Amino acid sequence: MYSGSIRKMTARASTPVEYALPIGDGSLSLNPLLGQRLRLEWTGEISCIHCSRSIKKSFNQGYCYPCFRRLARCDRCVVKPELCHFDQGTCREPDWGRSECLVPHTVYLANSSSLKVGITRGLDPTARWIDQGATQAMPIRIVPSRLDAGRVEVALKDFVADKTNWRRMLQGSPDPLDLASERDRLMQALESAQPKLALPGSAPGDSPVTTLHYPVIEYPSKVVSHNLDRDPVLEGTLQGIKGQYLILDREVINLRKYGGYSLSVVCPA
């Protein structure tokens, strides 16, 4: 049995992706448990993933309310980067903003439930692609800041989705796409619609498409999500792992949603 406060699953881009669950002071490797029975039980305790204080309710996937109100990483502009207000002098944590937002970001196309556009900090979006359950992805633009990335994403949202349909993502792998052709199509559509628009940053050249494979024995025909707040016990056979979800034989669970929850996990020796 493993027990303790959990964080979002870590992942390594191998074939298939290798997952582990940070729990307590340790880490539980999950791929070897495929096809075996698991029992997850919430003890009723939650601790803030930032300050570690004991709380009764978490906000924004693991924070206490004071941290949720105080931390820049919990601001609305993290979800909507086009609303970044650092240059207005109103960032909640200027030092954090300099290190996290005023650095190069990657705008990318991914095939998760279908084609989508997204952004992430840095020049290696692989971890972000895995979190979203993408089976194919490629960078399409490198920009100098999070605000710039948000502006590019907003410009492209008229022509392509910016969100993953998580239910569809958990029901199987989407049909493969020619991402280079999709990139060219989107850029041509954007140029036709806004011929005077100058996008920030630059294209990353002839970027290769990354293909990702996930450890899944069987996808569910119907996706039923388990809520630990309503039922603290989840038990079943582990059929797969994709994105931040465990896929059991009857239900799925988004472990990232329960950051800071104290769980006991019972699995075979």
215 and 240 in contact (C-beta within 8 Å)? yes
Supply the pLDDT for residue 205: 79
Q: HSE-up of 34 (CA within 13 Å, CB side)? A: 17
E-strand stretches of the chain: 2-5, 10-12, 18-23, 26-29, 37-47, 54-55, 105-111, 115-121, 136-143, 210-211, 233-242, 245-248, 252-254, 261-266
Give residue 269's pLDDT: 60
* Helical H segments across 1-132, by residue range: 65-70, 76-79, 94-100, 126-131
> Which residues, at least 6 apart from 164, have a Cβ–Cβ distance to it below 8 Å?
110, 112, 113, 116, 132, 133, 243
The Cα 232–Cα 235 span in angstroms is 10
DSSP assignment letter at 243 = T
Average pLDDT, the chain: 96
Q: Is the full-model pTM beyond 0.85? A: yes
For the chain, the structural domain boundaries read: 2-63+216-266, 104-211
Q: Which residues in the chain show pLDDT less than 50? A: none
Tallying the residues shown for the chain, one arrives at 269
Q: Determine the pLDDT at residue 209.
A: 95
